[in-house]
Amino acid sequence: QVQLVESGGGAVQAGGSLRLACAASGSAFSGYSMGWFRQAPGKEREFVAAIVWSGGLIDYADSVKGRFTISRDNAKNTMYLQMNSLKPEDTAVYYCGVSHRRYVYGTREADFGSWGQGTQVTVSS
């Protein structure tokens, strides 16, 4: 079982930047895809970005394309989300997830088997 811990959330003004990190531990990390989802108050959790084990396949939600960048450092068992040009509508709790099995990739919530506790991102106008 993989344990995930997010960090890097906070409060920023519109146009600002934040970098989220997701550290994985507790089980073999090799081969697993990872992703970021977010949940705003009163809304369902939604896909933000995903990255395959090798980093060679990446997807973004249309709402964050060109502003957010997902990356991972497998040597450090850590995934990142660089968020630039933040907007008030980016305000949410951000969760990182790891895929159910090795060497599979998807962008649906059901494709992920373990989740972190979440980190709050608040963007003010």
Residues 97-117: pLDDT tens digits? 999 889 899 999 999 999 999
What average pLDDT does the segment 48-61 reach?
95
What average pLDDT does the segment 46-59 reach?
95
At 28 the pLDDT is 65
What average pLDDT does the segment 85-93 reach?
98
At 123 the pLDDT is 98
Q: Give the span between the Cα atoms of 3 and 23, in whole angstroms.
A: 8
Q: Give the span between the Cα atoms of 46 and 27, in whole angstroms.
A: 26
22, 34 contact by CB (below 8 A) = yes
pLDDT of 96 higher than 80: yes
Helix (H, G, I), strand (E, B) or coil at 90: helix
At 27 the pLDDT is 67
